[in-house]
Amino acid sequence: MKLKQKLMTYLCAGAVLATGVIGGHLAENAVKKGAESVAASASAVVERPTVVLDAGHGGADGGCVSVDGVPEKGINLSIMLTTRDILSLLGYNVVCTRETDVSIHDAGIEGLRRQKISDMDNRLAVINGSGALLAVSIHQNQFTDPQYHGAQMFYRADSDESLRLAETLKERFRNHLQPENERETKPVGDELFLIHNAQCPAVMAECGFLSNPEEAAKLESMSYQREVGFVIADGILKFLTEQ
């Protein structure tokens, strides 16, 4: 299915959900299975599956910078907010480590390095305290050679489910946006603190290279940021529905 068709499918599904399909489902269960079944279904609705989304960097930590001088942090946030909105619309409980241009370090900490350490500790606490089914950290890549381009996934090395999530996200990028993407999906250890220490399947999604002029121009575009956000949401949904 083409990306635009996917977008319409998600939007229509969300609209239906918002206008009472859940209530209709509960009513149907009442007829078939009685009041006890309705109570169980209502509990399932309240206890929605949780997903954590992490927009990398923020505040004084801008991340890498595009060839046009645009910091990574805002691109990450824009993509994450689209992913959040889609998953929320479809009934998931989406927990975000940040939803604005901030670092989430503890108050009173001074110095960028110490703030960054505190920020990462707090992001990990959000992930591990949420009971999430998975976590995706959204970033942009950069390299000294501007020829490199394409999304690349990094996953927790000791987690088969993290690998499956990474491969699912890569496949959706290839299917919708980057058909020629051959970038290797890579395992990571403690060099990626957040992914390595997450207690659920976790992936860092590097959505493209800000050092590549053509890809940077796309990633700086709000329309392309939305497309990437939808692709990540699509990958998460595929991962969760094929367990």
Q: Where are the beta strands (DSSP E) in 102-235?
A: 134-141, 152-156, 186-188, 202-209
Each residue of 158-209: pLDDT tens digit? 999 999 999 999 999 999 999 999 999 999 999 999 999 999 999 999 999 9
Q: Does pLDDT of 229 surpass 50?
A: yes
Residue 12: pLDDT band (50, 70, 90) is: low
pTM as predicted: 0.83
pLDDT of residue 66 exceeding 90, the answer is yes
CATH 3.40.630.40 fits 49-241, yes or no: yes
Q: Which of 97, 76, 78 is nearest to 207 (CA)?
A: 76
Report which secondary-structure segment, H or E, holds 217.
helix 213-219
Going along 76-201, which residue ranges are E strands?
93-96, 134-141, 152-156, 186-188
Query: In the chain, which residues fall in CATH 3.40.630.40?
Result: 49-241
Q: Is the pLDDT of residue 58 over 70?
A: yes
What is the residue whose two structure tokens read 């946030």? Answer: 77
pLDDT bracket for residue 18 (50, 70, 90): very low
94-103 tens-digit pLDDT: 999 999 999 9
Q: How confident is the model at residue 32 (pLDDT cuts 50, 70, 90)?
A: very low
User: Would you state the pLDDT for residue 175?
Assistant: 96
CA distances from 128 to 125, 136, 198 (A): 5, 13, 6
